[in-house]
Structure formats: C-alpha cells, structure tokens
Amino acid sequence: MHSQAQNPFGPTPYERKKERASLIAKVVTFVMSMALVIPMLLIIGLIFVKGWSVISVDYLWENPRGGGIAGGIWGPLIGTFFLTLTCLVIVAPVGVLAGIYLNEYAPDNRATRAIMIAVTSLAGVPSIVHALFGLGAFVVAMHMGKSLLAAACTLAVMTLPVIITSTREALAAVPRNFREACWNLGASKWQTIRTIVLPNSISGILTGVILVVSRAAGETAPIMLTGAAAYLPLPENMPDKLMPYYLGDQFLALAMHLNVIARDVPNMPTEMKFGSALVLLCLILLINSLAIIIRVQLRRRKRW
C-alpha cells in the first residue's frame, strides 16, 4: 500500500504476477525449443562431418556400383528428381483446383464439411498405409506395375491434403473486398479468381508445394512397395544417363538407396552412408530455400 501511494502508476500485485507468469512461460518455451533444436543441429552437424569427405563431382555424377559400396549416387539422385517432378505434375493441379472449388464454389453444407473432414483425416494417415493403398490401387488394380508412375501417384495421394489445405487457407486470406470490387465492375466469378484471388494467394499455395517437395523427396515406404528398386544396372553413355528412367520403369531414389545401404549392404563404408544422407539433406534444404526465396519475393508484391 505504501509503494502504491508513492507511485500510483506502478504495477499492481496482479500485474506483477502476470509478468512473472509470462516470463516463466517464455523461459519454459525457450528451453523446450532448444531441447528440440539442439539435438537436430547436432545430428545435422554429424552428417556433415562424416559425409563431407566423400562429396565430389565424381560422387555426384557416377552411378552406384557393387550394390552401392562403390561409385556415386547419380542414379538415385536423378531418380528422386524425376519422382518429385512427376508427383508435382499430378498433385499440384488437382490439389489447387480442389482447394479453389472447396473455398470459392462449394456450398457450406454437410457434404462440404464431410469432404474437409476426410481431407484432414487423410493427412494423418501413416505413410505405410498409403504404400499399401498404392500397391493395391495403382500397381495391381490399374496394372501400372512397380514403376515411377505408380510411385508418383501414391505420393500424390499422400500429399494431396497438404495442397488442398494450403490452397484453401491462402484463398481465404484474400480480403472479400477484392472480390466484391471485381464483381461490381462486371467480372465473372472465375475472372475474379483467376486475375485477383490467385495472384494474391500464390505465396500461400507455394507453401504447400514446398511441403510436398520435401515429403516426396524423403519418403521411403510408399515408393518401396510401388516402384523403387534396391539396385539397378544404369546406362553410362550420354544422353541416356541424363534420363535413365521412364514412367513405366522401376527407378532408384535417394531415400530408398540410403535405406538399403544403411541396413542391407554388408561391409558398407560409413562415409558412403553419411554421404548419401548429406546429399539428400542438402537437396531438400536447397529446394526449400529456393521456394522460400520465391515466396518472400511474391509476398513483397502484396498491397494489403
């Protein structure tokens, strides 16, 4: 009471209690964050230290030899690129169009809400379940066989909820005033979406694409049952070396290659294991970094 009489504008006991609780929450959150970040940084550092010794142009350009004990990782590297690209070509148009329909055209009724619940639930299905679905639906039922196309379709189904959700959220973030202004000028609904809504939501949509690329490049279980091979003889002559796989062929992928050489190949040099892990890690970081840079540039163009 005496301190408050001297300084009537000072914090009350209740305000000081709130400040202490806020400080404690910040400290606890920081400690928990560091408990997650520090081990991750240590693991990444270990991969860099143990894998850097084998990284070279020859290692990136040569195909695996001797079951992966010798040679490089060109075959798995280019296979990962083709797999990710094919998956994006399939899932991006379907996911974006589905997100546009659900946010802009679909009525707010039970059917639409049921669809959104199904999409959200699909995002939580384990990857091995998607692998079994891809094996039954694409490899067996649709007679694709174990191939690049079957694996890409399986990954597309698995990552579809990410594209749909990010597209819906990005479209919903665009102010309704933009739409109403276009409608008042006589523009149709599709013209408004195409010329105003989509350009202003492209950065949010790109966030979903980033997540799809990262997940597609790092998944093992879905491609293991639908098209990825443990080892394949690959061409060494040009230009076949630049395109060693077609849609109906089995392929090598970095995630699968790393799983095989780390678990199934006896007498595998340790640096080869960490080298493959380092390349996969750097590939995902590079793709994410480029996409983030593009997203930041697109966000700067916003006027709201």
* For range 47-74, the mean pLDDT: 82
The dihedral formed by the CA atoms of 260, 264, 269 and 273, expressed in degrees to the nearest 10: 30
* For range 34-55, the mean pLDDT: 88
Sequence-separated (6 or more) residues with CB below 8 Å from residue 241: 63, 74, 234, 235
pLDDT greater than 80 at residue 265 = no
- Read off the pLDDT band of 1 (50, 70, 90): very low
What is the tens place of the pLDDT at every residue in 117-156? 888 888 788 888 888 999 998 999 998 888 899 999 999 9
Q: Estimate the crossing angle of helix 254-263 against helix 74-100, to 10 degrees.
A: 130
pLDDT recorded at residue 120: 81
Whether residue 153 contacts residue 172, with contact meaning beta carbons closer than 8 Å, is answered with: no
Which of the pair, 17 or 304, is modelled with greater confidence? 17
pLDDT recorded at residue 26: 92
Which stretches of 124-253 are DSSP H helices?
127-134, 148-172, 176-184, 189-192, 198-218, 221-224
What is the tens place of the pLDDT at every residue in 213-248? 888 888 888 888 888 888 888 777 777 778 888 888
* For range 4-17, the mean pLDDT: 71
pLDDT recorded at residue 32: 93
pLDDT recorded at residue 200: 82
Whether residue 59 contacts residue 275, with contact meaning beta carbons closer than 8 Å, is answered with: yes
Q: What percent of the chain has pLDDT over 90?
A: 11
pLDDT recorded at residue 5: 53
What is the tens place of the pLDDT at every residue in 206-218? 877 887 888 888 8
Token digits of residue 22:
């806020």
pLDDT greater than 70 at residue 303 = no
DSSP 101: I
What is the tens place of the pLDDT at every residue in 156-186? 998 888 888 888 888 888 888 888 788 887 7
Sequence-separated (6 or more) residues with CB below 8 Å from residue 183: 189, 192
What is the tens place of the pLDDT at every residue in 65-74? 877 677 788 8
Across the chain, mean pLDDT equals: 83
Q: Which of 47-51, 162-166, 182-186, 296-300 has the lowest mean pLDDT?
A: 296-300
pLDDT greater than 90 at residue 289 = no
pLDDT recorded at residue 151: 92
Token digits of residue 118:
């199904």
pLDDT recorded at residue 291: 73
